Amino acid sequence: MHLTDFPGREAEEKVMLVLHRHWFIFLKNIIILVLVAGAPLVVAWIWSHIRTWELAPNSLGYALVVSGGALFYLFLWILMYGYWLDYYLDFFIVTNKRVVDIEQSGLFGRTVAEERLYRIQDVTSDTQGIMATMLRYGNVYVQTAGKKERFIFEHVANPEDVARTILHLTDKIDDRMERPGDPSQFIAAAGQQQSSAPLSADQMHKN
């Protein structure tokens, strides 16, 4: 499945934006992991200058150090890949009809939330912090009238442009009056079938 081929995509639906979290968020986690990976090596190097120590190849200490170190670095490597997957498999899609928020949580959790554009009531964006301001990433908050009241697109690049794009798309939806159950559609349809009979009191009251 291609990233933009999300579940339930309609045939005439056009993908306008595909957003991942900003690369700096992923890099932050990697830097922390690299520091954790380097810490034992630094400690061993410092210790070797304080005291001389040797491990005989056939000793328990040698076996524990080598096998423990291998397991430790294998675990860190898997953790790094897990961070990558968390970054890569979390994305937000904005189409000409709806917004979709796909979140991967761990190995066995995946949440797909979507909302139609005509249900969007408000879109705001914010940028907090020095790095966020310098690298131009932040959050986009999409307030909806649906079951999930608020979509949060976290740490996306150029959040103001994203918010503006979503608002522009919702304006186009409003202009085309595509909301089902919109009273104006019924009024227009009723006007085409207008009979010569006068309106009843109830009809006049409703108008």
Query: Is position 70 an interface residue for other proteins (rule: CB under 8 A)?
Result: yes
Query: Is position 60 an interface residue for other proteins (rule: CB under 8 A)?
Result: yes
Cβ-based neighbour number of residue 26 at 10 Å: 18
Question: Which strands form 150-157's sheet, in the order they lie side by side?
Answer: 120-126, 137-144, 150-157
Query: Is position 36 an interface residue for other proteins (rule: CB under 8 A)?
Result: no
**Least Cβ distance, residue 74 to other proteins (angstroms):** 5
Q: For other proteins, which is the closer residue by CB, 84 or 186?
A: 84
Strands 91-95 and 98-105: antiparallel
- Using the contact rule CB under 8 A, the part of the chain among 25-33, 53-61, 159-167, 193-201 near other proteins is 53-61
Query: Is position 58 an interface residue for other proteins (rule: CB under 8 A)?
Result: yes
- Using the contact rule CB under 8 A, the part of the chain among 73-81, 141-149, 170-178, 191-199 near other proteins is 73-81
Provide the terminal-to-terminal Cα distance of the chain, rounded to the nearest Å.
51
Between the alpha carbon of residue 186 and those of residues 163, 177, 192, 196, 205, the distances in Å are: 32, 12, 10, 18, 17
Strands 120-126 and 137-144: antiparallel
**Binding-site member from 23, 75, 105, 129 for other proteins (CB under 8 A):** 75
Binding mask 103-142 for other proteins (x = CB under 8 A): -x--x--x--------------------------------
Cβ-based neighbour number of residue 60 at 10 Å: 9
